[in-house]
Amino acid sequence: MKHIFFAFLFFGFTLSAQEINSKELTYNEFLGFVKKYHPLVKNANLEISKSQANLMMARGGFDPKIEVDFSKKQFKDKEYYSILNSSFKIPTWYGIEIKAGFDNNEGIYLNPENTVPNQGLTSLGISVPLGQGLFINQRMADLKKAKIQLQLSQAERKLQAIAILYDASIAYFNWKKSYNEVVLYKEYKENAEIRFKGIQTSIKEGDKRAIDSVEAGMTVKNRTLNLIDSELKLAKAKLELSNFLWLENNIPLELAESIIPETQLEFTIQETLKTNALLNPDFSISNHPKINALQSKIDILNVEKKLKANMLLPKIDIGYSYLSEPSYIDNYRFEDYKIGLNFYFPLFLRKERGSLKLAKYKVQETEFALDLEKVQLSNKINAQKLEIEALTKQKNLIKSVVEDYATMLKSEEKLFSFGESSLFLINSRENNLVSAQLSKIALENRFFVSNSELFKIMANPD
């Protein structure tokens, strides 16, 4: 009951917003609620938030750092040692690190290399990688990949959202198809009942044979069976559609009985889905989310390839630190310093060369997939355009067929009123008309689905 209550609230708002037909839930309104409130669409938006969090983590590799290392040993009233090493480090983009430090050590058993002046010792230095890590290192690679990953997540969000909107569209079209079939069978059931009553009256007056009432009654029963079956399909379609209707705070909705689908959908669907943009011959797939996603993956792999190539260089790190007592920090003595050099280089580089080859192969593999995807997308779009054009022609043709069958039925009914036809011929004409109208409904449904498939191929939910 709670769901139904919210449904009435929701559709009360919808009704007040409608000016032409207050009972319609238009396709555009329906998609708007799916985009805004459906949990899986919200879940797709979380991909961007997660990528932003990863980008923040990658930027954390360049955050300044304060380090303090203090140790002290006291035994039998003797201070063996008290060692304080503190530093402030600033990582920079090209692997260069700036470091300021302060050391204050004392004790009777202090290691001689840790001996510093009584006031302590300050230092200011720089560390520079001359081989590996100068132009690209793990921190730089992580940050670059995190930025590209954000673009990749935006493309993947669109692909996830478009899949939900496509499924929601199919549910809406099934609802409309089932609704139109119910309306159709109701109309012809009423016609059959009116005809049945008229036949019974004519039989009483002696104008018709008694057997005609049996045939008219059979038609009523068949129409009733068709109506019951179509109403069952409509009830199921409504429940399926309700899976995509939500409000804020993840409150599900159910369709009220008075709500009907958009009656003029065939004239608005292409504008709603923006599939009419594809009629422009200059339309390009360069900004397609699948293309952007694959290109972003290639960019990420290229960053990884550069990092692997950098591993072929020798690892040479040099460091220089200017040393001074705190009280003499303004008196420069460049002869007081600390310098260091680290060198590392594998002789055969088999691990590094193998990793680089694998990185290159991954780039080539993704580039092949990108080329294939471009061709497939173009072909899919062209094929879908051809299908929509063919269905448009078929829709116009089936409308003409329905009108012709309706004309023949009216003519047969006139002949029947003059006694020059039979109930069997009328039922035959009417069955042909019903079949044609059902074909018209099915063809319209195919037209809607075809446009939604083109919308899915385009993958532009915004």
Q: How far apart are CA 274 and CA 325, in angstroms?
A: 72
Query: Tokens representing 261?
Result: 């689908």
Predicted pLDDT of residue 346: 87
Predicted pLDDT of residue 13: 36
Predicted pLDDT of residue 388: 92
**Domain 2-37+140-299+362-458 top-level CATH class:** mainly alpha
Predicted pLDDT of residue 71: 92
Residues of the chain with CATH 1.20.1600.10: 2-37+140-299+362-458
Q: How far apart are CA 187 and CA 193, in angstroms?
A: 10
Tens of pLDDT, residues 360-403: 999 999 999 999 999 999 899 889 999 999 999 999 999 999 99
Burial class (CB in 10 A: 0-12, 13-18, 19+), 455: buried
For residue 385, how many C-alpha atoms fall within 13 Å in the half-sphere facing its CB?
15
Task: State residue 305 phi and psi, 5-degree precision.
Answer: -65, -40
Predicted pLDDT of residue 265: 92
Angle at 159 between CA 157 and CA 162, to 5 degrees: 105
Query: Tokens representing 340?
Result: 């260091």
Predicted pLDDT of residue 197: 85
User: Contact at 8 Å (CB) between 47 and 157?
Assistant: yes
User: Contact at 8 Å (CB) between 38 and 250?
Assistant: no
Angle at 450 between CA 448 and CA 453, to 5 degrees: 110
- 316, β-bridge pairs: 343
Residues in the chain with pLDDT values less than 50: 1-22
Q: How far apart are CA 86 and CA 120, in angstroms?
A: 11
Angle at 56 between CA 124 and CA 286, to 5 degrees: 125
Q: How far apart are CA 322 and CA 218, in angstroms?
A: 106
pTM of the predicted protein model? 0.80
Q: How far apart are CA 334 and CA 369, in angstroms?
A: 59
Give the residue from 368, 349, 346 showing the smallest Cα distance to 301: 368
Burial per residue of 368-381, b for 16 or more beta-carbon CB atoms within 10 angstroms, e otherwise = eebeebbeebeebb
Structure-token match 């993704």, residue found: 366
